[in-house]
Structure 1
Amino acid sequence: MKKHILVVDDDNMNLARTRIILGKDYDVLLADSGIEALVKLRNEKVDMVLLDIDMPGMNGIETFGRMKEFAADIPVIFLTASGLEEDVHSAIKLGAVNYLKKPYQPQELLKRVAQEFEKA
């Protein structure tokens, strides 16, 4: 059975690209906001979350904090275009398992996701 990955990003092109990259090997769920991500996490089976940091409304760090209240065991890989070290450090301190700087190479995304599933 395929693992379920929730991809959260406010950019529809990033969502579509990530679905194409991961879609052969995983069931991919998409959310374009932190609020939508939290709803999906409560209602669907999710094995991993790929979470954009810089989103309007509720950013990825805040989304991750709320997610931890009821889905603390789901691994999160942050996706960031900013590359700000403080964002990355905040994410890792909160318990993110990894991060990827956008734009990323498809092979790198597949490798990071596979590595996290191997740890579980």
Structure 2
Amino acid sequence: MGTPDSITVSGTIDISDVDTDDSPSFANTTIEGTYGTLVLTDGTWIYTLDEDKTTSLGADQTAQDTITLTASDGTQQEIVINVTGTDDRPVVAGDTTGAITEDSGAQSASVH
């Protein structure tokens, strides 16, 4: 995906459930964001910046692209990509891993 000059960031996401009768998962998908595209394949995601969508960002101006992934059990996890404009081209930074744990009572999520 992308060209040799593509600006990308990548990470992983996983989900587990302590309930033995539930094995949630995130399906492989491609999601268009505000400033680029996120592709999720087998728990690994790659976000590729679309520089045509970032031309409005000035030098050092920041914006976020939030992509929401939904697991097979309906649990949602956001991946937040921070985009910083430059005079030449934008720079991408974001969370590199994600994990979510569900128990029978309350749900909690964390992204590393």
User: TM range, normalised to the smaller chain?
Assistant: under 0.3
Which structure: larger Rg?
2
TM-score, with structure 1 as normaliser: 0.26
TM-score, with structure 2 as normaliser: 0.27
